[in-house]
Structure 1
Amino acid sequence: MDPMNQALLALRSRLDRFGVILSGLCMIHCLAGLFLVGVLGLGGGVLLNPEIHHIGLILAIVIGAATIGMGALRHGHRLPLVLGLSGLALMTAAVLVGHGSAESVLTIAGVLLVACAHIVNMRRGSCSTTCDC
């Protein structure tokens, strides 16, 4: 494999890892928001700020498109793409429904699917460094 392909593969792998971390942080934010605001009545102004959700969704779309999309083009496997697009659709729906239990369920389901897509994509990427998948 030439150095350019190796560099692109390494970048995609790092971005996939970042995508998994971002998904985890999003889920922690969502669960912490439910607990702190719902149970303790604290932090509603910060944790429920719509801008946080819009920025998170934009980051998820950009990183997902860059890594999962590139991975699907490179290795031809559609599972990461289907998982990622489904997760992003759920996350978009969560932003549109507003605050509440529906938003939390949609967000958590969405970030889990996106994280799974990144993990499957990373596994496919590591395979392509050792064989022609």
Structure 2
Amino acid sequence: MVFQRAINPIRRRLDRAGIALSAACALHCLLSIVLVSGLGLGGEFFFSPDFHRIGLAIATLIAGVAIGWGALRHRMAAPFVIAMVGLTFMGGALAVEHGPKEAILTIIGVALVSLGHILNLRHMHR
């Protein structure tokens, strides 16, 4: 029981980091479209496939640890399933050309991943 109390703050931080990274990702998508299409700035950085692959890897790692850990602990599959569907959307965004389709898939994905983290945090308190 003492071990579990020590672990909860770590999982809580990971879930909060996942929510913050999801918001940053959505903001990145929107700013990329505005800056690149509206002003012609930063296309090589904002649209870099490596940037998106690294972001997906980080999101997968954090969601897998925090939400997977939570699902095992509280035996609720919904946060895990929702987050994994979100990661699937984010992965699908890597398969389309840069632009509105990619942004829509990514924003749907990060919203679902964030929702998975939020649900995971809620189940932690039950």
The TM-score with structure 2 as length reference comes to: 0.97
Tell me, in whole angstroms, the C-alpha distance in 1 between the residues paired with 2:71 and 2:97.
32
CA offset digits 1:89-112 (Å, max 9, x no partner):
000000121312111100000000
**Aligned residues with identical type, % of pairs:** 44
Q: Which residue of 2 is the match for residue 33 of structure 1?
A: 32
In the alignment, structure 2 segments of 5+ residues that lack a partner are: none
- Give the number of aligned pairs: 126
2: CA distance between counterparts of 1:3 and 1:14?
Answer: 18
- TM-score (structure 1 length as normaliser): 0.92
- Deviation for aligned residue 1:114: 0.3
- Could you list the runs of 5+ residues in structure 1 that have no partner in the other structure? 128-133
Q: Which residue of 1 aligns with 2:112?
A: 113
Superposed CA deviations along residues 77-133 of structure 1, whole A, max 9, x for unmatched, are: 111011101100000000121312111100000000000100010010122xxxxxx
Counterpart position of 1:94: 93
1:61 counterpart residue number: 60
How many Å separate the matches in 2 of 1:3 and 1:31? 43
Partner of 1:75: 74
Write the distance in 1 (CA, Å) between the matches of 2:101 and 2:50. 18
Q: Distance in 1 between matches of 2:13 and 2:121?
A: 9
Name the amino acid aligned to 1:89: T
| Letter matched to residue 126 of structure 1 | H
Counterparts of 1:22 and 1:98 in 2: how far apart (Å)?
22
Alpha-carbon separation, structure 2, partners of 1:11 and 1:56:
21
Determine the structure 1 residue equivalent to 2:8.
9
